[in-house]
């Protein structure tokens, strides 16, 4: 399976993270640090499922609902803020992309029990071909968090008013 689109999506997110200048979020929204921690933790889950698929395991399972805010806050503290988290995300995303590159056509079609619930706009609770879950991550999940990061920029708020 080709990871070109996935790599491009991560590059966009990491470029945004590297630009910095994020404001604290309002309400229950995630901070920039929490968003990056979420993506890195999610990469670990995607990597575990991809490794299971590559190993031919019939028990491949991907459940994003297992990542909660206290875990994100612990990652933020462990990595010392945005710069450390960006380094972590670079490592986890590169590992995931390398695993995706190893997926052949048959492995990419392996059915995986998938739970992906974020807000009301991204809800999956079914068995999907693994390539479809990876496609959702590339085309929906990463762009969603990229938009969240951009919304935390003060210059964007100034142009809205």
DSSP the chain: ---HHHHHHHHHHHHHHHH--PPPPPTTPPPHHHHHHHHHHHHHHHHHHHHHHHTT-TT-EEEGGG--HHHHHHHHHHHTSHHHHHHHHHHHHHHHHHHHHH--HHHHT-EEEEEEEETTTEEEEEEEEHHHHHHHIIIIIHHHHHHHHHHT-HHHHHHH-
Asked if 51 and 44 touch (Cβ cutoff 8 Å), the reply is: no
Q: What is the CA radius of gyration of the chain?
A: 16
Give this prediction's pTM.
0.90
Domain 4-160 grouped into CATH 3.40.630.30? no
Q: What is the pLDDT along the chain (161 residues), one digit of tens a residue?
A: 999 999 999 999 999 999 999 999 988 889 999 999 999 999 999 999 999 999 998 778 888 777 788 889 999 999 999 999 999 999 999 999 999 999 999 999 999 988 877 766 677 888 899 999 999 999 999 999 999 999 998 865 444 44
Return the number of other C-beta atoms located less than 10 Å from residue 42's C-beta.
24
Q: What is the pLDDT of residue 31?
A: 94
Asked if 73 and 89 touch (Cβ cutoff 8 Å), the reply is: no
Residue 76, token pair as written in the block: 């933020």
Residue 159, token pair as written in the block: 């142009």
Distance CA 74, CA 88 (A): 14
């Amino acid at each position: 399976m080709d990871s070109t689109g996935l790599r491009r999506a991560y590059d966009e997110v990491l470029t945004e993270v590297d630009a910095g200048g994020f404001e604290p979020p309002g309400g229950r929204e995630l901070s920039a640090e929490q968003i990056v921690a979420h993506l890195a933790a999610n990469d670990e889950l995607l990597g575990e499922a991809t490794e299971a698929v590559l190993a031919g395991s019939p028990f491949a399972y991907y459940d994003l609902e297992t990542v909660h805010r206290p875990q994100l806050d612990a990652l933020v503290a462990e990595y010392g803020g945005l710069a450390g988290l960006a380094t972590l995300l670079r490592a986890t995303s590169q590992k995931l992309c390398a695993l995706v590159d190893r997926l052949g056509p048959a492995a990419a079609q392996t059915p995986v029990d998938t739970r992906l619930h974020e807000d009301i706009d991204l809800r999956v609770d079914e068995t999907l071909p693994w390539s479809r879950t990876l496609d959702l991550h590339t085309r929906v999940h990463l762009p969603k968090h990229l938009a969240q990061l951009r919304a935390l920029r003060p210059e964007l708020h100034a142009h809205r008013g």
